[in-house]
Structure 1
Amino acid sequence: MLLLVTVGLISLALTAALRRYALARSLLDIPNARSSHALPTPRGGGLAIVISFLLALPLLVWAGLLAVHAFWALLGAGALVAAVGFLDDHRHIAARWRLLAHFAAAAWTLVCIGGAPPIMLAGWALAPSWLATALVAVYLVWLLNLYNFMDGIDGIASVEAICVCVGGALLYVLVGQSELAAVPLALAAAVAGFLYWNFPPARIFMGDAGSGFLGVVLGILSLLAAVQVPQLFWSWLILLGVFVVDATTTLLRRLLRGEKVYEAHRSHAYQHAARHYGRHLTVTLAVAAINLGWLLPLALLVSLGWLSGWLGLILAYAPLSFLALRFRAGSAE
């Protein structure tokens, strides 16, 4: 508990310092036709999440709450993605170079954890293979990019990360491995310190350094969970459902229209919903309610073996897909 409080306070203080730095250097996100905010706002505050969480990792290893190979996976991949995002926040980096760095981070992760973990499907463990390894690499890269895409209104990416991490920690407790809950809880604490400044109306934005870092770290945590208990991978996919469904639906619909998917836009379901309700807070709180009231119970059932992973995923994603289409995910404004 002392470590979690310390991580949260460090993140809180660092975010305040980064906000002053951004204001002094005029590092502002200026609203344009594709923005979801109306006022110039400092950006780059997600670096506080990165620093506070990475500082906690050696202490978790020392306390026996994090394996050394997991430490190197989180440190190496997280630092690389955050560094590329930080540079992109300050000066534009071509999409192909960002993507190359993202795949390098995924490859580093897989080397550190010994390849793709076993994944349970209909009671059988899918044996790791070169195809499984490639799919897991794509999964990590997609997750970190979709997290960047979904960081478009005040507080949504922070609330999602906290809900997923707290849910993931609870899963560990229920399957009898409560000592492993410390890592996701440390990430939740780091995000909570930042959320104080990012809660609607946001006083600072996360930036690519923070959103990409959260995406890849959450992906790594889902793989580490699968290493311990294979069915937990499905539980983590369920917990991440709001972001996965919205981003994937939006991407596919834009691809079908022949749009350049790497260009900025405002066609995600959550962005349409924010315009519909006229405020960010309503949508951000709705995401928290969906996570805690719908996705978490299903993830718990899967983790306890009372519901198969693939069936739990279908039950979780079906209403999310309906909501995504209801709020016109991927539709032109």
Structure 2
Amino acid sequence: MQEPLITLLFSLSLSALIVVLAYKKNWFLNHHDLEGVQKFHHHPTPHVGGLAVFFGIFLGSFLLDSDTREVFQPILLASLPLFITGVIEDFSAKISPLWRLMAIFISIAVSFFYLNIGVYSLGFAWMDSLLSYPFISLLFTLLVVGGAVNAFNVIDGYNGLMSGYVLLALAAMAFVAYIVGDVLILQLCLLLGASILGFFLLNFPLGKIFMGDGGAYFIGFIFSMVGLLFASRHAEISNWFVLSLLMYPMYELLFSIYRRKFIQGTLASQPDAYHLHTLIYNIIVVRNPDGDKVLNNSKTSPYLWLLSLTSIIPAMFWYDNKIALIALVCGFMLVYTLIYRFIKL
């Protein structure tokens, strides 16, 4: 299939153009770039890599066969509220968290009501009976998908971290799609992966461009939608499979909320420098204080990629085993918590 290659080249070219314009013309930069406890780079860098990913996927969608295009392009349209709001935030740093959350909920609600994509089953009779009520199903979809969208933004802190993780998760979903013979989902995974890879090549390891809120929101939304769509198309594939692929960013978000609210006594939305990826970065800097700062940044990501694989790889083979997937989700949370406590102490 030529669609992924064309998408990759377009995304890479647009990413490179953004980098050149940023360094030569100071475009795509703002004075807020180096502010905040979660900023670990030392030179203004364009935060609009999401533009390259979005337009790469948008272009690639027109290369898909008509059946796949008819399914996927409405999802792209539904993503516009959260993507545009995120991009405006990347340029201005003036969009409040509440307005960004509202944009995320609008995109999810559009997908739920008009595309019929949501969380309608968890594989247990009593849960599914509750989810059969549209209002409850909508609330649960807002919670899960909204959490995933924000979780992708939370882990977008170091060169290649979020984009590398997504490439691994997409590869796992593509593998299962191939196993069950779902060409549509396989095409979408390859298209998404190609566009993200175009950005990734300039983000890791040299950090020439960052994804930004718009890109992180968009990728989190599209990945969640494709995952839910995949589960809805096959009775043997549980939504727990999708959750297993999402466990690293989702539990990072949940653990961060718990840590801030109950341990630090701060607002759950208050940014801090105590994420697992931040602690790993600090260890790398302590062990290599004279090392290149950009490379120290990039050395952080592979550790988290390996951690994410502890849920991604088993999920590839247990995609049709609900109980095993639930055990996998619980096991990942335990492993993450133990690693965090060991490093923190």
The alignment's TM-score, normalised by the length of structure 2, stands at 0.86
Residue of structure 1 equivalent to 2:96: 94
Matched, 1:31 2:34: yes
Matched, 1:116 2:118: yes
Residue of structure 2 equivalent to 1:143: 148
The structure 1 residue matched to 2:258, chosen from 244, 252, 255, is: 252
Deviations 1:142-174 (A, max 9, x none): 111121121111110110111111111111122
The structure 1 residue matched to 2:107, chosen from 105, 108, 123, is: 105
Q: Taking every aligned residue pair, what percent have the same amino acid on both sides?
A: 21
Structure 2: distance between partners of 1:315 and 1:255: 23
Residue of structure 2 equivalent to 1:21: 21
Residue of structure 1 equivalent to 2:242: 236
CA contact (8 A) 2:260 2:270 kept: no
CA deviation after TM superposition for structure 1 residue 45, in Å: 1.7
More deviation in 182-191 or 297-306?
A: 297-306
Letter in 1 for 2:79: G
Matched, 1:275 2:320: no
Matched, 1:155 2:156: no
Letter in 2 for 1:113: L
Residues 290-305 of structure 1: matches in 2 within 5 Å? 290-292=307-309, 294-305=310-321
SS in 1 for 2:64: helix
Q: How many residues end up aligned between the 2 structures?
A: 325
SS in 2 for 1:60: coil
Structure 2: distance between partners of 1:6 and 1:277: 37
Deviations 1:233-273 (A, max 9, x none): 21121112221122210121112233233343222111111
The structure 2 residue matched to 1:172, chosen from 155, 172, 177, is: 177
Residue of structure 2 equivalent to 1:193: 198
CA contact (8 A) 1:225 1:232 kept: no
Residue of structure 1 equivalent to 2:221: 216
Structure 1: distance between partners of 2:78 and 2:268: 24
Residue of structure 1 equivalent to 2:328: 312
SS in 1 for 2:163: helix
Which residues of structure 2 form unaligned runs of 5+? 286-295
CA contact (8 A) 2:87 2:213 kept: yes
CA contact (8 A) 1:42 1:205 kept: yes
Residue of structure 1 equivalent to 2:293: none
CA contact (8 A) 1:175 1:303 kept: no
More deviation in 213-222 or 23-32?
A: 23-32
CA deviation after TM superposition for structure 1 residue 306, in Å: 7.9
The structure 2 residue matched to 1:261, chosen from 246, 265, 268, is: 268
SS in 1 for 2:49: coil
CA contact (8 A) 1:76 1:108 kept: no
CA contact (8 A) 2:240 2:322 kept: no
**Over aligned residues, Cα RMSD in angstroms?**
2.4
CA deviation after TM superposition for structure 1 residue 124, in Å: 8.4
Structure 2: distance between partners of 1:192 and 1:99: 27
CA deviation after TM superposition for structure 1 residue 211, in Å: 0.9
Structure 2: distance between partners of 1:82 and 1:262: 20
Structure 2: distance between partners of 1:246 and 1:326: 16
Matched, 1:55 2:59: yes
Letter in 1 for 2:227: S
More deviation in 170-179 or 146-155?
A: 170-179
CA deviation after TM superposition for structure 1 residue 70, in Å: 4.4
CA contact (8 A) 1:4 1:186 kept: yes
The alignment's TM-score, normalised by the length of structure 1, stands at 0.89
